[in-house]
Structure 1
Amino acid sequence: MDELDLLYRTRVALRERGFVVLKEPVQEFYKNLFKFTGVGLGGLLYMAGKSAGLMAGNVLKDIAGLRNIPLDDFKKLLEVFLIESGTVSEVIEWEVKGDEITISVKGSVFAVSQDSKKPMCIPLQGGFAGTFESVYGEKWNCREIQCSASGYDHCKFVVVKEER
């Protein structure tokens, strides 16, 4: 998959299907949402992220022009999509061990300017699970095992295929 063509097609898809929102107001909203609503919000944010991920997976398949995207191409697609959409600033790790993929990112829009003992990138967890489900047709789950909002250098996610 040609990276320049991939970048171009991703930008076109984001312009046609998305809109630009400044990160700072979203981050402030997200911070205040947790401040005023408390703990019961996690499941809702995960499901909302998963729904968005299912849609994003369809966009990625359209960008690739494929229904069955090889994992190496999917990695490139997802990385470009995450960075170009402003969701993260950098993907620093992508490690595959069987049906488990570890993804580490810097600059998650959900963790920047947050201070929390718990992982804050709940919509991104759901988003990863939904994207993998959309692209590969099986059930996937994701959990964040470290978060920059908790003082780590980066956020780390583990995406796993559900056993049947």
Structure 2
Amino acid sequence: MLKTKIKQVDDALGGGMVEGSAVAFVGSLEYDNIVLMHQVTLNALKDGKKALLATFRQAPDTLLREAEHNGIDYAPFIEKGSLVILDGYTNLYAPGLKQGENILSNPLDIGITTAVIRDSLSKGNFEVLIIDDLTAQYTLQPNPKGYIKTLVRLINSVKSMGITAMTALCKDVFEKVDLAAVLIPFDYVFEVSQGRIKILRSLKPLRTANPIFQYVRTPEGIKLILEEYATVESIKKRLKAESDGTLWLDWDRVEIITESSERATIETAYEFLGPEKGKEFLYLWGKKQFIGLGKDARKRTNSLKSALEEIVLLTRSSGGGILEIMEIKDDLILITGKNLFPRSKGSALPYHVHYAGSIAQFLTEFTGKKWEGKETKCEAMGADHCGFVFWPVE
């Protein structure tokens, strides 16, 4: 099996992709699809496969630098000969004809180019072909339809040799009908764009009803959000302290807040405003903290359950305590919490009303309809857990 080494994706595929199949990584102008394709290539090399990488998008040395910036080090595999780069870039743009080993003399002649690729695969006993990427050649071809036909023949002939073929392409550049045509021979199609990996096609039945996975791009490549924010260590990687006394989490300025500080805020709200007005203040405070998060999550997934699981994970990894989703219905959502921030004992009033406000704000933005929430139980008041109920407002 050819694995992505992203556990949730491989699990959905039944362990990975069948070797000898064709895999397309479709993306947008941010090139996240290309990064993921190279991660899969690196995994194949680490598993002992021999690969031929044809590059038309950029020069080989530039490709290697870009890959290294995304946590992909091809150098050891080039040195031992398990990765060979076929340069289809230089003679597309060089002022004069460049000759040399593994340099395509006339990349725009797609017939000759595909013949050279097939010949190289056969003579080199390669097990994997990678084309980075199809888009560059598509934009330069005087006859795009002929180009697509030749590519379809190439991919099918590579599969007939028992060799795995992988390529990337930019959906923003291809005409819609051309994109559909070029994807015909591929057994697996992944759309990797705007924070979502979506499995559009699989050779085997998928083992999930919702094959959409939220990701972030990191210096170590593409990682699922649930993995990137799963531990305190991963949060620490995203923190940066400046000499002027500022602390940043990605692009947000943050401050380390102690429980006593937040507890004082809650107690002050109740003391000055009274029980009911204090709850209202804390609820609105929570809503304010989560403005924009629901809209951002909506860009990554259409699944409310997946979006709420992100909130659960972020709450735990940032020290906010343990949330658990108990029930999700169209008209009712139940969530429980333990060890929420801040802790307290012996309170006559609920301490985590702001959690109710935050999640209600998130639900409102994500679903597009207004939700309200309430803390029904609180550990600070002696309950064994905190309880929250949320409902839509007509």
TM-score (norm 2): 0.36
Question: Alpha carbons of 1:36 and 1:136: their partners in 2 closer, same or farther (altered >3 Å)?
Answer: same
Alignment of 1:4-15 (within 5 A): 5-7=224-226, 8=228, 11=235, 12=238, 15=249
CA distance in structure 1 between the partners assigned to 2:340 and 2:306 by the alignment:
22
The letter of the residue matching 2:377 is Q
Question: Alpha carbons of 1:69 and 1:78: their partners in 2 closer, same or farther (altered >3 Å)?
Answer: farther
270, 277, 284: which one pairs with 1:47?
Answer: 284
The residue number in structure 2 matching 1:122 is 353
Moved more, 137-146 or 37-46: 37-46
Q: For CA contacts below 8 A with separation 6 or more, give which structure has more relative contact order.
A: 1
Alignment deviations for residues 31-65 of structure 1 (CA, whole Å, 9 cap, x no partner): 5414631332221221121122223324544xxx5
**Helix, strand or coil: the match of 2:388?**
strand
The gaps in structure 1 that reach 5 residues or longer are none
Confirm or deny that 1:159 pairs with 2:394.
Answer: no
Moved more, 49-58 or 14-23: 14-23
Structure with greater proportional helix content: 1
RMSD over aligned Cα atoms: 2.7
67, 74, 77: which one pairs with 2:310?
Answer: 77
CA distance in structure 1 between the partners assigned to 2:325 and 2:229 by the alignment:
23
Question: Alpha carbons of 1:140 and 1:147: their partners in 2 closer, same or farther (altered >3 Å)?
Answer: same
Note if contact 1:53-1:129 (Cα within 8 Å) is conserved in structure 2: no
Alignment of 1:1-164 (within 5 A): 1=213, 5-7=224-226, 8=228, 11=235, 12=238, 15-16=249-250, 17-34=252-269, 36-37=271-272, 38-39=274-275, 40-61=277-298, 65-66=299-300, 68-87=301-320, 89-110=321-342, 112-163=343-394
Alignment deviations for residues 12-48 of structure 1 (CA, whole Å, 9 cap, x no partner): 5982225242332333323541463133222122112
CA distance in structure 2 between the partners assigned to 1:56 and 1:86 by the alignment:
18
Question: Alpha carbons of 1:157 and 1:137: their partners in 2 closer, same or farther (altered >3 Å)?
Answer: same
Q: How many residues align?
A: 157
**Helix, strand or coil: the match of 1:44?**
helix
Alignment deviations for residues 98-128 of structure 1 (CA, whole Å, 9 cap, x no partner): 3211000111114x12432332211111111
Question: Alpha carbons of 1:45 and 1:84: their partners in 2 closer, same or farther (altered >3 Å)?
Answer: same
The gaps in structure 2 that reach 5 residues or longer are 1-212, 216-222, 240-247
TM-score (norm 1): 0.79
Note if contact 2:270-2:279 (Cα within 8 Å) is conserved in structure 1: no
CA distance in structure 2 between the partners assigned to 1:134 and 1:142 by the alignment:
14
Q: CA deviation at 1:144?
A: 0.9
The letter of the residue matching 1:52 is Q
**Helix, strand or coil: the match of 1:145?**
strand
**Helix, strand or coil: the match of 1:54?**
coil
Q: CA deviation at 1:92?
A: 3.2
Runs of 4+ off more than 3 Å: 9-14, 58-61
CA distance in structure 2 between the partners assigned to 1:123 and 1:5 by the alignment:
28
CA distance in structure 2 between the partners assigned to 1:146 and 1:19 by the alignment:
30
The letter of the residue matching 2:332 is E
CA distance in structure 1 between the partners assigned to 2:271 and 2:293 by the alignment:
29
Question: Alpha carbons of 1:138 and 1:99: their partners in 2 closer, same or farther (altered >3 Å)?
Answer: same
